[in-house]
């Protein structure tokens, strides 16, 4: 017997399957293209927080999810015997001017309470980061200890193997059975838009590159709007482009070469590092720009989990939890801004 069928084996579908399974449900994940075939099969994997100020539901939800991630991925990897590449290695960001420095110092104070004394946001002299310092016009960097990294493709493989090890089923096709969760990424947003008759969300293409450079314990960098993420396997990911208009969802082009050049300029250590993979995928962006979670607007016994956009991996542990609360206990712990109807035209 199947209690919950989850359509979509991306990080949203898999994390909901895992949460339901660990609460004793029989789950089946169905994806005609396989595990991590969509935007979750990528290479970047920055689990980076919003700035610690102007707190709201979205930031609080993301903080909880990032805080629980270390234990979450340790459990998943212990069951699967694989590595998600998770590590709370922190992040460095250059401070570009005097106003930025002032703001960074204010945020260091607000982080003390908003991050509940568990993690820090500090301003440090760039020289303290040695060779690993990005270029900084002020000579200062922000160092935070909440940011983590994991390898998206490896994390999906680990989660899928853990689901199967615990008795969950993953198929490329199967009949609907039990409650249905539609976690079909940007295709699902397009289909839902057609059903309700106006754009409820869309896809935003991203291109990223993987470099051969072993800095596995070093903090990730955020500079010139780029994520530079050292992975546990001796590679460094660089991302990403953000394209609302695109013809080919999975091809790379000159826009990626520009990203690579900008990353090497912001961070000269990588000048000689060889590019070993170029990758593109399409992020699911809900109209509200927040995750879209809850009952399906037109289909009975069906739920939607979508809209991960640029931070789907960071949100996934907590999204699994609130969706399992809704599906299995009927308890709605979803923040109002994340509800499906938050995307309806007002
Ligand atoms: C370049 C790039 C860089 C990114 N960097 C980061 C980052 O650093 N940190 C971060 O947190 N996030 C990042 N993201 C965003 C993150 O990848 C997404 O938020 C996340 O993958 C969304 O997961 P999902 O499961 O909703 O969608 P997807 O991974 O797209 O999964 C949807 C799945 O549904 C399947 N499907 C489609 N139609 C059907 C159907 N009819 N039936 C069944 N299955 C179907 C597809 O095959 C696919 O496997 C990045 C994304 C990109 C593209």
**Among candidate residues 84, 48, 51, the one with its CA nearest the CA of residue 65:** 48
136 Cα: distance to centroid of ligand 1 (angstroms): 33
Top mutation candidate among 7, 87, 185 for ligand 1, by most atoms within 8 Å of CB? 185
Top mutation candidate among 43, 157, 184 for ligand 1, by most atoms within 8 Å of CB? 184
Q: What is the pLDDT of residues 212-259, one digit of tens each?
A: 999 999 999 999 899 999 999 999 999 999 999 999 999 999 999 999
CB 48 within 8 A of CB 91: yes
Q: Burial letters for 145-181: b for 16+ Cβ neighbours within 10 Å, e otherwise? A: bbbbbbbbbbbbbbbbbbbbeeebebeeeeeeebbbb
Residues with CB under 6 A from ligand 1: 7-13, 30-33, 37-40, 42, 44-46, 152, 183-185, 187, 206, 208, 227, 239-240, 281, 283-284, 306, 308-314
Name the residue at shortest CA distance from atom 16 of ligand 1: 312
Element (H, E) at 277: strand 274-286
Half-sphere exposure of 180 (CA within 13 A, CB side): 15
Q: Which two tokens stand for residue 147?
A: 């940011």
- Rounded to whole angstroms, the Cα distance separating 110 from 318 reads 23
35 Cα: distance to centroid of ligand 1 (angstroms): 10
Atom of ligand 1 nearest to the CA of 314: 11
Q: What is the pLDDT of residues 163-173, one digit of tens each?
A: 999 999 999 99
151 Cα: distance to centroid of ligand 1 (angstroms): 13
Q: What is the dihedral of CA 295, 296, 301, 304, to 10 degrees?
A: -80
pLDDT by 10s per residue, the chain, length 346: 999 999 999 999 999 999 999 999 999 999 999 999 999 999 999 999 999 999 999 999 999 999 999 999 999 999 999 999 999 999 999 999 999 999 999 999 999 999 999 999 999 999 999 989 999 999 999 999 999 999 999 999 999 999 999 999 999 999 999 999 999 999 999 999 999 898 999 999 999 999 999 999 999 999 989 999 999 999 999 999 999 999 999 999 999 999 999 999 988 899 999 999 999 999 999 999 999 999 999 999 999 999 999 999 999 999 999 999 999 999 999 999 999 999 987 6
């Amino acid at each position: 017997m199947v209690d919950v069928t989850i359509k979509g084996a991306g990080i949203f579908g898999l994390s909901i399957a895992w949460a339901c399974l660990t609460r004793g449900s029989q789950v089946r994940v169905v994806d005609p293209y396989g595990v991590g075939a969509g935007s979750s099969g990528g290479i970047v994997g920055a689990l980076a927080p919003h700035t610690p100020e102007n707190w709201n539901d979205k930031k609080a939800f993301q903080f909880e999810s990032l805080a629980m991630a270390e234990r979450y991925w340790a459990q998943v990897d212990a069951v699967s015997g694989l590595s998600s590449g998770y590590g709370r290695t922190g992040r460095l960001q250059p401070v570009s001017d005097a106003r930025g420095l002032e703001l960074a110092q204010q945020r260091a104070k607000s982080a003390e309470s908003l991050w509940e004394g568990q993690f820090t946001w500090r301003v440090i002299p760039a020289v303290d980061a040695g060779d690993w310092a990005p270029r900084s016009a002020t000579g200062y960097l922000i160092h935070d200890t909440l940011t983590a990294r994991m390898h998206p493709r490896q994390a999906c493989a680990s989660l899928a193997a853990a689901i199967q090890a615990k008795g969950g089923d993953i198929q490329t096709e199967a009949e609907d059975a039990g409650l249905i969760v539609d976690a079909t990424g940007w295709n699902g947003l397009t289909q839902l838009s057609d059903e309700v008759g106006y754009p409820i969300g869309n896809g935003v293409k991203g291109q990223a590159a993987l470099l051969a450079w072993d800095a596995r314990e070093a903090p990730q960098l955020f500079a010139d709007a780029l994520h530079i993420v050292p992975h546990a396997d001796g590679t460094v990911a660089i991302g990403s482009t953000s394209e609302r208009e695109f013809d080919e969802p999975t091809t790379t082009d000159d826009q990626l070469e520009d990203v690579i050049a900008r990353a090497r300029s912001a961070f000269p250590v990588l000048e000689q590092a060889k590019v070993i993979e170029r990758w593109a995928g399409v992020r699911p962006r809900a109209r509200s720009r927040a995750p879209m979670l809850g009952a399906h607007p037109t289909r009975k016994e069906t739920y939607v989990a979508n809209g991960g956009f640029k931070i789907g991996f960071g949100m996934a542990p907590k999204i699994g939890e609130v969706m399992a609360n809704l599906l299995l206990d009927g308890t709605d712990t979803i923040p109002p801004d994340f509800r499906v109807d938050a995307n309806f035209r007002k």
